[in-house]
Amino acid sequence: MGSKQRETVLGQMAYSEGKLKERRSDLTEKGIAPQEAAKDGIVRKILAQIRQTNVKIKALDAIKKRTEELATMKAEKLAAPPKTKKEKKVAEEPAKGKEKKKKKKEAATDK
């Protein structure tokens, strides 16, 4: 399971970026052109790791945002005055089964 700590993921990102910088400098010392270095398997692997960590960071941000929204909704709900019994009864709709029984009784009395 992946890490859920933003600091940990940022550390992984910094580590991958450092590895990428080091690999690119090694390739330039060997005399390999930047276009050819982009095709290097290790460079591509490191770039994929960086993309994955970016996705993790975005997911962590989305989770944090949703948690904050839920906390504000809960606070608003707790701050609202509680409903009284009369308000609850008015808000509830009559049961569907009772309506059918009333219709049947009315139909029977009409005959």
Q: What is the pLDDT of residues 6-64, one digit of tens each?
A: 899 999 999 999 999 999 999 999 998 888 888 899 999 999 999 999 999 999 999 99
Domain assignment present for residue 49? The answer is yes
Domain assignment present for residue 77? The answer is yes
Domain span at 16:
6-81
Residue 88 has a pLDDT of 65
Using CA atoms of 60, 64, 70, 72 in order, give the dihedral in degrees to the nearest 10. -170
Domain assignment present for residue 107? The answer is no
For the chain, percent of residues with pLDDT exceeding 90:
55
DSSP string over 32-95 = --HHHHTT-HHHHHHHHHHHHHHHHHHHHHHHHHHHHHHHHHHHHHHHSPPPPHHHHHHHSPPP
pTM beyond 0.95: the answer is: no
Q: What is the pLDDT of residues 98-108, one digit of tens each?
A: 666 666 667 67
Q: Which two tokens stand for residue 24?
A: 């690119």
Residue 1 has a pLDDT of 46
Domain assignment present for residue 60? The answer is yes
Q: What is the pLDDT of residues 48-87, one digit of tens each?
A: 999 999 999 999 999 999 999 999 999 999 888 877 777 6
Domain assignment present for residue 10? The answer is yes
User: Contact at 8 Å (CB) between 39 and 2?
Assistant: no
The conformation of residue 23, written as its DSSP 8-state character, comes to: H
Cα–chain center distance at 46: 25
How many separate domains does the chain show?
1
